[in-house]
Structure 1
Amino acid sequence: MESAVTATASTAPVFIVGPPRSGTSLLSAIIGSHSRIACGPETDLFRALPIKRARSLAQSNNRIAKTIEQLDEIRYPDGRSLASHFGLSNKHLRKQLDTRTDFVKAVYAAIPEAFAELQSKQRWAEKTPRHLFYVDTIRALFPDAKIIRIIRDPRDSIPSVIKNIGLSTSYIAEFYRWMGVYMKSSKFFAQDANSITVRYEDLVTDPEKKVSEICQFIGEEFEPQMLERKGAELVRVASETWKSDIDKKISADNIYGWKSKMDPDVAIAASLICSEALSELGYPNSRLPERELMVYPLGENFGAANEQHILECAKRGLRYRPYDDTYPESISETFKVIPDVVLGDIPLGKKTSVRILHALSASVQIVFRFLTARPVRVDPDVDLGIGSLNRCIGKLALLLGKQQRLAP
């Protein structure tokens, strides 16, 4: 006789999200080793194929062929297509797209659904860390989906990000990036009943207990083979060398390694930058600032441009804090903030021509604020981003703006 769980087993998809190097690969290997759930490599679909484009495809003539063509253009760093990493052909995708009434939903489900069918499994999971930015879209498309956010103490995960992924060489930049990711997703996970947050530390300290709880959440029975992670080879690709250990013995030996390995000054700054998150998640040694300045915009460039200054301020319990969890989409938006917020890093872009145009626009905004008696506020001890153009804008802001220092 079937168990109560199996008899009413859900076919709802499972999405695994989280900051980089927080255990998403380990968790996907565990869940993908369940007898009913298939999990393949990351798709990154919600970024690579924006929802507006998917809706446009749904309304187009010959939509199936055009969608397959769009999916084929999504390539891994090794040059191979997304579908090929799942062992799928266009025939597999066409079948999925042709049999779904909600075509937009099918665009995002076709690859993992076809993969689950290929694996003779009844349910699919999808793991892409950066889909943390798209949880609202995921929920709108998949109302019954189970969404799992896995979190790791950033003082342990950020050194691994810098070493293995290379998003930045600045610890301060990466801690600000991590905090921005956390802030953006926290409201969703606090309110969404079909979502949970799992701490990496709990998973590796008592894996059977934590995986059993996760199984209960997604509506499946715990299976001991999940901890053996036979599905590990299916969730990574050859170029992702930093995932080579996800089928090794689960160990808690490296948790809170930052206490002995991290530079003490960096650890102090991290504990200040991520203070609220560390406290909410129950991590040790969070630190409330003695004094802080709100900054907008405050992203990883601000951290990278001012790393040494931020480290020195942190020693004194001083912190630059983001005004909110948003980042401007335009130069004009950068200056549409409340008057007492200090100007942060000016996002100029990467192309030289674009950077020059944005620099001119930012300069006009600074002059306009001065002429209308609403001068920008700027800390004379910080740089407004990286590069000579940002430094020029900073000098203009100092000339025409109102100075406000974090460090007295």
Structure 2
Amino acid sequence: MHQSPIFLIGNHKSGTSLLRSLLDSHEDLFVIPNEIHPFKHLGYWIDYDMRKNYPKQLSVREKVRNFKEWIEYSNQAFDKYADSDTRNIWDLDLLNNLVKQRLETDQEISDKDLVDFFLETPYQLIQKKPIPQNKRIVEKSVEHGEFAADLQKMYPHAKFVHIIRNPYSNLVSIRKYIGRNKFPFLRDPVNALYNSYYYLEKNQRIIDNYFVIRYEDLLTKPDETISEIAEFLGIPNQNSLYQPSSLGGNWAGNSTNNVEFKGISAKNINSWKTNITDIEIKLVNKLFSQILSKYNYEKLEPSESFWKRDKAEDNLKSYIGNRLFPRFYLK
């Protein structure tokens, strides 16, 4: 495979899926339409709370089996709130053959060899042929922030694009995503944001080809932001970069409101302001004030008591949990 892959990094609901869809139809790229989660299949320890995985000592066969099962699951699962619909696009007979070929070798198979296999195989399963050597692979998995250094070691010429979103807006969007019509326990989303922002700062210190963009800039000044992305990646600035797609077709979006996606728009960029609660404001102010300042986001102040129950908090258990766990953070 081409040894200069592109990895998209960012927290849940931060804009990674939109960014992936903008790169989808570029002639120099193959954009994997779903998250591959290579380090989960390898049995690595994942700290990111919304994709947490405890370490396991796995054989090569078990690692490949994990990947195979993930593709099989992706071929039949559907979630209207998910970022992609990949039902019935994978050739499962070909998958079985490729897995068999991968395992039938006398050579030692390293984790790098397996990640190559995880990244190359989706193209073969969709296009029914090996990926051309001049095609660069684009992949995004939400836990990649903490594995960017591993990926850079495997692929020294890789490039990373980390997209961030206003922490207030991001937390509200995740809360609506995981809670659907209920107000959920906020611990996992808050810890996930903490993990993502921690590696956002760390990765910029240790990785050279690491580019950070704001979700809000992608919506409000797409021409300028997309041009900067294309220049960083070293790809032609084609018209296709301004038309979100998935496997060359229409991208349905992944709105938490299940709203049909019609293109890049800043129309609802501030809708979170009518949904945010005081406890969310307090948590963001306590944990992510540096992010607010560094990336020029306005700092809000809560208007009500910490203990005031929001009208959306109809679940007493979640209300109690959301008032107890922040005590660790809000001292």
TM-score in terms of structure 1 length:
0.58
- Structure 2 residue 305 is matched with structure 1 residue 285: no
Whether the aligned pair in 1 keeps the contact of 2:146 and 2:199 (CA below 8 Å) is yes
* CA distance in structure 2 between the aligned counterparts of 1:93 and 1:235, rounded to whole angstroms: 31
- Structure 2 match to 1:13: 5
Q: Secondary structure at the match of 1:258?
A: helix
- Structure 2 residue 280 is matched with structure 1 residue 266: yes
Whether the aligned pair in 2 keeps the contact of 1:203 and 1:211 (CA below 8 Å) is yes
Q: CA deviation at 1:222?
A: 1.1
Determine which structure has greater relative contact order: mean sequence separation of CA pairs < 8 Å that are 6+ residues apart, divided by chain length.
2
Q: 1:263 to 1:84 in 2, by over 3 A?
A: closer
Q: Deviations over 1:56-91 (max 9, x none)?
A: 52xxxxx6xx664342233637766xx986624233
* CA distance in structure 1 between the aligned counterparts of 2:175 and 2:264, rounded to whole angstroms: 22
- Structure 2 match to 1:87: 90
- Structure 2 residue 208 is matched with structure 1 residue 190: no
Q: 1:267 to 1:218 in 2, by over 3 A?
A: same
Q: CA deviation at 1:32?
A: 1.6
- Structure 2 match to 1:205: 220
- Structure 2 match to 1:141: 154
- Structure 2 residue 46 is matched with structure 1 residue 46: no
Whether the aligned pair in 1 keeps the contact of 2:7 and 2:140 (CA below 8 Å) is yes
Q: Secondary structure at the match of 1:72?
A: helix
Q: 1:272 to 1:246 in 2, by over 3 A?
A: farther
- Structure 2 match to 1:25: 17
AA aligned opposite 1:76: Y
* CA distance in structure 2 between the aligned counterparts of 1:101 and 1:212, rounded to whole angstroms: 42
- Structure 2 match to 1:69: 65
Q: CA deviation at 1:309?
A: 6.1
Q: CA deviation at 1:54?
A: 9.2
* CA distance in structure 2 between the aligned counterparts of 1:84 and 1:95, rounded to whole angstroms: 24
Whether the aligned pair in 2 keeps the contact of 1:43 and 1:128 (CA below 8 Å) is yes
The answer for unaligned runs of 5 or more in structure 2 is 45-54, 78-85, 302-317
AA aligned opposite 2:197: Y
- Structure 1 match to 2:51: none
The equivalent position to 1:105 in structure 2, one of 89, 108, 112, is 112
Q: CA deviation at 1:257?
A: 3.0
Q: CA deviation at 1:191?
A: 3.0
Whether the aligned pair in 2 keeps the contact of 1:38 and 1:115 (CA below 8 Å) is no
Q: Secondary structure at the match of 2:160?
A: strand
Q: CA deviation at 1:16?
A: 0.8
- Structure 2 residue 138 is matched with structure 1 residue 129: no
Q: Secondary structure at the match of 1:150?
A: strand
Q: Secondary structure at the match of 2:137?
A: strand
AA aligned opposite 1:49: L
* CA distance in structure 2 between the aligned counterparts of 1:189 and 1:243, rounded to whole angstroms: 33
Q: Secondary structure at the match of 2:219?
A: helix
Q: Secondary structure at the match of 2:112?
A: helix
AA aligned opposite 1:203: L
AA aligned opposite 1:320: Y
Give the aligned length.
282
* CA distance in structure 2 between the aligned counterparts of 1:208 and 1:270, rounded to whole angstroms: 30
Q: CA deviation at 1:41?
A: 0.8
Q: CA deviation at 1:113?
A: 1.9
Whether the aligned pair in 1 keeps the contact of 2:171 and 2:189 (CA below 8 Å) is yes
AA aligned opposite 1:105: K
Q: CA deviation at 1:243?
A: 9.9
The answer for unaligned runs of 5 or more in structure 1 is 1-9, 58-62, 288-302, 314-318, 322-405
Q: CA deviation at 1:104?
A: 2.6
AA aligned opposite 1:45: P
* CA distance in structure 2 between the aligned counterparts of 1:141 and 1:304, rounded to whole angstroms: 44
- Structure 1 match to 2:329: 320
- Structure 1 match to 2:193: 178
Identity across matched positions, percent = 23
Alpha-carbon RMSD: 4.0
